[in-house]
């Protein structure tokens, strides 16, 4: 590891950056700053503000503090309640789900010719941090929402979590209180817009999305206060042109203001959170290219394990390096699990069925 400043420097020399991005200068009597350690990015910094704007999971999921690499969390399966004067123990079967903290990492090489003065260093590192924030937001959303394959402990597989999509398309019948059959809360949509009919098996977006939402609304895990729709932005166009059987719009743009003062859209009166991570793809990606997904469920059932926040590590070029390049690393540690499959449902745009062969 290298130090940004190895020898005493005259007052005013730039030594590095604080967690909030402010420059550190050396003044008379001060000691050089050691930049060898990972520096945490403060949650009120521009970088984390951008993450919270872009990432549905970081912003909406229920946080679970993690002090170890893995953590078992009791699953909420309800508590049996009875009337009377005599207490009896709850006899419902209890189980837990596990959170595993995974590293979300990146590294960027920087030409030292572009870092010849303090202002350049601040500008380049600032732009790099924002780029990481945007990519991180989509990557963590997709890993938690749209990865189609099973979780893997092998880093190169890039399947860090069991996504909501994967959970809803898999049977969970070992625990009778958890009992869920694959695709019970899954609704395919062929892309038809059409006009809503009065039949139960219509193919319009209104009918298919309404059927998807009702799978959660009619279950025991429905909570109006916690309900949220998560969608890929490609659904905006079809939502704008969709109406119910009476011709009323089902989508409202900037329908209300949230607690942070930001406007939000609604579908069927439920708040929508948009993310580019709401698409299918076999592995976690910051640019998933699969089918668009529309989710509905309880925010409380999305559990985000927080082992370590975003940290950065900056290092200048060393004498033994082949090129005069500095480098900056980024890392964060997160875990994720869906607390109960019946708390969420998903609609997938699968496209029209292929024409039958002659």
- What does the DSSP assignment read for 201-250? T--SHHHHHHHHHHHHHTSTT--TTTEEEEE-TTHHHHHHT-B-TTS-BS
Residue 82 pLDDT: 76
Backbone torsions φ then ψ of 123, nearest 5 degrees = -65, -45
Residue 258 has pLDDT above 60, yes or no: yes
- Angle 63-179-181 from CA coordinates, rounded to 5°: 100
Number of H helices, E strands in the chain: 6, 16
**pLDDT digit string, tens, across residues 292-348:** 999 999 999 999 999 998 888 878 777 767 777 778 888 999 999 999 999 999 999
Report yes or no: 130 and 46 within 8 Å, Cβ to Cβ. yes
Pairing relationship of beta strands 302-315 and 325-338 according to DSSP bridges: antiparallel
Residue 7 has pLDDT above 90, yes or no: no
Count Cβ neighbours within 10 Å for each residue of 62-75 and write b for 16 or more, e otherwise: eebebeeeebebeb
Smallest Cα–Cα separation from 168: which of 148, 151, 152, 153?
A: 148
In the numeric block, the tokens 């590891």 are attached to 1
CATH architecture entry for 38-75+96-349:
Alpha-Beta Complex (3.90)
Backbone torsions φ then ψ of 306, nearest 5 degrees = -115, 100
Instruction: Please give the mean pLDDT across all residues of the chain.
Output: 82
Percentage of residues in the chain having pLDDT higher than 90:
47
Residue 94 pLDDT: 64
Average the pLDDT over each of 10-24, 70-84, 173-187, 240-254 and give the range with the smallest value.
Answer: 10-24
Residue 16 has pLDDT above 70, yes or no: no
Split at pLDDT 50, 70, 90, the class of 212 is: very high
**In 35-190, which residue ranges form alpha helices assigned H by DSSP?**
46-54, 56-60, 118-145, 164-168
Smallest Cα–Cα separation from 37: which of 233, 311, 289, 252?
A: 311
Backbone torsions φ then ψ of 11, nearest 5 degrees = -55, 140
**pLDDT digit string, tens, across residues 51-109:** 988 999 999 999 999 999 999 887 765 567 778 888 877 665 567 788 999 999 988 88
The DSSP secondary-structure symbol of 150 reads P
What is the C-alpha radius of gyration for the chain, rounded to an integer number of angstroms? 25
User: In the predicted model, what is the mean pLDDT of residues 264-285?
Assistant: 96
Q: State the burial class of residue 106 (Cβ atoms within 10 Å of its Cβ: 0-12, 13-18, 19+).
A: middle
Residue 99 pLDDT: 92
**pLDDT digit string, tens, across residues 138-192:** 999 999 999 999 999 998 999 999 999 999 999 987 766 678 999 999 999 999 8
Residue 113 pLDDT: 67
Residue 54 pLDDT: 92
How far is residue 90's CA from residue 94's CA, in Å, rounded to a whole number?
Answer: 10
Report yes or no: 192 and 204 within 8 Å, Cβ to Cβ. yes
Long-range contacts of 53-56 (CB under 8 A, 24+ apart): 53/137, 54/133, 54/134, 54/137, 54/138, 54/275, 55/136, 55/137, 55/138, 55/140, 55/141, 55/275, 55/277, 56/141, 56/145, 56/230, 56/273, 56/274, 56/275, 56/277, 56/278
- Angle 256-44-124 from CA coordinates, rounded to 5°: 115
Residue 125 pLDDT: 72
Percentage of residues in the chain having pLDDT higher than 70:
78
User: In the predicted model, what is the mean pLDDT of residues 264-280?
Assistant: 96
């Amino acid at each position: 590891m290298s130090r940004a400043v190895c020898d005493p420097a005259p007052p005013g020399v730039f030594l590095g950056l604080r967690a909030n991005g402010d420059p550190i200068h050396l003044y008379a009597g001060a000691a050089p700053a050691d930049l060898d350690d990972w520096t945490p990015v403060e949650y009120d910094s521009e970088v984390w503000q951008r993450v919270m704007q872009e990432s549905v999971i970081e912003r909406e999921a229920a946080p679970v503090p993690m002090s170890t690499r893995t953590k078992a969390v009791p699953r909420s399966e309800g508590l049996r309640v009875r009337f009377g004067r005599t207490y009896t123990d709850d006899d419902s079967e209890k189980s837990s789900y596990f959170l595993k903290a995974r590293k979300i990492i990146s590294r960027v090489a920087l030409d030292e010719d572009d870092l010849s003065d303090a202002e350049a260093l601040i500008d380049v590192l600032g732009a790099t941090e924002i780029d990481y924030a945007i990519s991180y937001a989509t990557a963590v959303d997709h890993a938690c929402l749209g990865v189609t394959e099973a979780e893997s402990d092998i880093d190169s597989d890039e399947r860090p979590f069991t996504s909501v999509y994967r959970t809803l398309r898999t049977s969970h019948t070992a625990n009778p209180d958890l009992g869920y059959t694959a695709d019970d809360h899954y609704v395919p949509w062929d892309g038809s817009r059409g006009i809503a009919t009065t039949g139960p098996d219509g193919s319009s977006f209104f009918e298919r999305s309404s059927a998807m939402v009702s799978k959660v609304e009619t279950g025991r895990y429905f909570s109006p206060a916690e309900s949220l729709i998560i969608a890929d932005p490609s659904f905006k166009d079809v939502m704008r042109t969709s109406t119910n059987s009476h011709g009323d719009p089902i989508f409202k743009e900037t329908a209300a203001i949230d607690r942070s003062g930001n406007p939000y859209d609604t579908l069927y009166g439920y708040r929508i959170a948009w993310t580019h991570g709401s698409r299918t793809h076999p592995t976690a990606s910051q640019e998933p290219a699969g089918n668009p997904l529309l989710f509905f469920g309880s925010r409380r059932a999305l559990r985000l394990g927080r082992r370590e926040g975003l940290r950065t590590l900056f290092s200048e070029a060393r004498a033994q390096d082949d090129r005069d390049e500095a480098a900056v690393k980024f890392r964060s540690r997160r875990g994720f699990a869906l607390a109960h499959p019946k708390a969420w449902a998903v609609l997938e745009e699968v496209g029209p069925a292929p024409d039958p062969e002659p």
